[in-house]
Amino acid sequence: MTEILKKYLVAKWWIPILFFGLSILLFISGAILPNTDFGFYSLVFFGFLLLISAVWQFFKGRMLIGFFQLSFLAVPILFFVFMAYMFAGMMNRPDEELALDRIEPLIKEKTDLIIPKDFEILENLIEHTEGAFDSDYYIGLTIEYKQSDEKNIIEQIIKSTDLESEKGSWKNYENGFDFEHNNNEINRAEPFYFTVDTLNNKMELNLSHL
């Protein structure tokens, strides 16, 4: 049995490639024994034989054939890894709206501003980027705070203007304040815009996860 495997599946370099290619087709189509893992096990088995054959070719000094067999083996493996990465990205996508207990920590993480506990959500949505290869999404959030909390909010912002932060800085405008994020490593993966409208007692966050 060992001699047969050595002669036809190892020494003959094209035979392991042929069987490995057929096992890929079986795995994808599930044509034989569709309710079992036959396709998967045949793919693993003939992939292992192809690896042994490539090592054999290296020992025999047939470097070009060995590298060719390894490249043939690597292509489907890289494809399956890519598909697994895509699937994991889809599974890790956030919900269609930001969870209530994530609103305060997210704003504090991005701006260092501690928002009031009592607020009303006017807009809360998460839009996924169509055709993206990973979990790209956009967050649009608008909340309304009570007038009695405005003094504390403004005091925090004014105090922050005197401090240097890698996250960004506050800018005063006609209706309130804008937080302008720095274009650095901290914010590059999630650029955002945050506004405090003191005229209408509103806060607005627009964030893109890239």
Percentage with pLDDT > 90 across the chain: 29
Partner residues linked to 208 by β-bridges: 138
Q: In whole numbers, what is the pLDDT of the chain averaged over residues?
A: 81
pTM of the model: 0.54
> What is the rounded CA–CA span in Å between residue 7 and residue 58?
16
Identify whether the C-beta of residue 187 lies closer than 8 Å to the C-beta of residue 109. no
> What is the rounded CA–CA span in Å between residue 57 and residue 109?
56
Whether residue 14 has pLDDT greater than 90:
no
List Cβ neighbours of 205 (8 Å cut-off, separation of 6 or more).
106, 107, 110, 139, 140, 141, 142, 192, 193, 194
Residue with tokens 């901290």: 186
Tell me what the mean pLDDT of segment 123-132 comes to: 75
Please report the pLDDT score of residue 148 as a whole number. Answer: 94
Nearest to 38 by CA among 23, 52, 51: 23
Could you read off the pLDDT of 59-115 as tens digits, one per residue?
878 888 888 888 888 887 887 787 777 666 555 555 577 788 899 999 999 999 999
Whether residue 200 has pLDDT greater than 90:
yes
Please report the pLDDT score of residue 107 as a whole number. Answer: 94
Please report the pLDDT score of residue 3 as a whole number. Answer: 64
Whether residue 205 has pLDDT greater than 90:
yes
Higher pLDDT, 27 or 9: 27
Partner residues linked to 195 by β-bridges: 178, 204
Could you read off the pLDDT of 162-185 as tens digits, one per residue?
777 888 899 998 889 999 988 887
List Cβ neighbours of 83 (8 Å cut-off, separation of 6 or more).
none
Tell me what the mean pLDDT of segment 29-37 comes to: 64
**Rounded alpha-carbon distances, angstroms, from residue 60 to 6, 55, 56, 66, 89:** 13, 9, 6, 10, 43
Long-range CB pairs of 164-171 (<8 Å, 24+ gap) are 165/112, 167/110, 167/111, 167/112, 168/111
